[in-house]
Amino acid sequence: MPTRPESAVAPDASAKTKALLADLWRRNRPVIEARLATLELAAAADPLPSQLRAEALDAAHKLSGSLGMFGFEEGTAIARQIEELLDAAEPDRALLASLGKQLRDTLLPSA
């Protein structure tokens, strides 16, 4: 039985994959926005309570682990920087706020 050349299959499969990822992004957007809000709360807190710090660290970790799947390599790098900041003894909250804004602008440019 003859098979179709891979080039004939790839565009259809690619379009389906993109559509599935777009739908997954749409369904996960509220979770992404909640994680961004947690990071923003942590950046604004003075002092930073340990519970909020732990929640923000968890949010940054989850973002850095998942954003690449959606094609946000830059977002992954920013989330990793935030994770490292939150893991420091005294996080630079000005830098944390700046990175949080940069991450929001990268992920939700029209928001």
In-domain check, residue 9:
no
Grade residue 30 by pLDDT with cuts at 50, 70 and 90. Answer: very high
Question: Which pLDDT band holds residue 107 (cuts at 50, 70, 90)?
Answer: very high
- The answer to whether position 18 is within a domain reads no
Q: Is the dihedral of CA 92, 53, 99, 58 positive or negative?
A: positive
For residue 26, what is the DSSP state?
H
Task: Say if 2 falls within a structural domain.
Answer: no
Q: Is the residue at 74 inside a domain?
A: yes
* pLDDT of res. 49: 95
Residue 7 has what pLDDT? Answer: 52
**Residue 19 is assigned to a structural domain of this protein:** no
**Does any domain span residue 73?**
yes
For residue 64, give its domain range. Answer: 31-107
Reply yes or no on whether the pLDDT at 73 is more than 70: yes
68 lies in a domain? Answer: yes
pLDDT of residue 104: 96
Check residues 57 and 69 and name the one with the higher pLDDT: 57
Say if 1 falls within a structural domain: no
Structurally, the chain folds into a number of domains equal to 1
pLDDT of residue 3: 52
Q: Tokens 């565009």, residue?
A: 11
> Mind listing the pLDDT tens digit for each residue in 36-61?
999 999 999 999 999 999 999 999 99
Instruction: Give residue 76's pLDDT.
Output: 97
Alpha helices in 45-107, H assignment, sequence order: 50-66, 73-87, 93-107
| 5 — pLDDT class (breaks 50, 70, 90) | low
